Amino acid sequence: MRANRRRAVRGASLLAASIVACAMGEAGQSTGPFTAETASRLIAELGPQQAAEQVLNDSAKLEAVAAGVAGGRPEWLNVGTQLIGVADSYLKDRLSQSFSIVLQREPTAVLARAASGLPLPAVCGYDPFTAAETPPTRRQFDEAVTLRERAVGAVQRADLAAVKGACLEAVAGLRAAGAKQYQP
């Protein structure tokens, strides 16, 4: 008799868990990993503004998006481009940081997204030491900015010449601000 009760309780628990999982799935909350495909579907279903709010309010999603964009895969760059234009506060900052990381490895991919709304001044002028626990020396800052300058300067696509110039202007502004902020 006890065994039957345990089975009934276990069965009811499994049924309840299945119902909750289905309800969460229908509400747009995935129980699996938050992938670029999942993020794209969320944007398509809710629109960029509401999707950005949902990402901002869910730390796991926010970290997945920030890491995905920083990884530089095209599908994540597309997701990031759609979200950064409507993002506020912390999400906008994290996405700017992630795009600035990619800028040094894949500058062409980042510059090409300016036409889709990527705010190049924020990305190109993002201080690489913003989140650093200990402030860098002026030399470390200059080296980091020089690497970004070289990466952007190496872009050869003629159709990106204007955005390349705008990006280099933002990098020059970053260099000037860092000259005042970071001590030798």
Q: Which stretches within the chain are classed as H helix?
A: 2-26, 36-46, 48-56, 59-71, 74-84, 89-105, 107-112, 120-124, 138-153, 161-181
Tell me, what's the pLDDT at 76? 98
DSSP 3-state assignment of 184?
coil
Quick one: pLDDT at residue 9? 36
Structure tokens at 77: 């760059």
Binned at pLDDT 50, 70 and 90, residue 89 comes out as confident
31: pLDDT confidence band, cut at 50, 70 and 90?
A: low
Q: E-assigned strands of 40-173?
A: none
Q: For the segment 92-136, what is each residue's pLDDT rounded down to a tens digit? A: 999 999 999 999 999 999 999 999 999 999 999 999 999 889 989
pTM score, whole prediction:
0.81
DSSP result, 49-76: HHHHHHHHT-HHHHHHHHHHHHHT-HHH
The pLDDT confidence band at residue 145, using thresholds 50, 70 and 90, is very high
Residue 184 CB burial class (10 angstroms; 0-12, 13-18, ≥19): exposed
Asked if pLDDT for residue 141 goes beyond 70, the answer is yes
Of 100, 87, 165, the residue nearest 130 (C-alpha)? 100
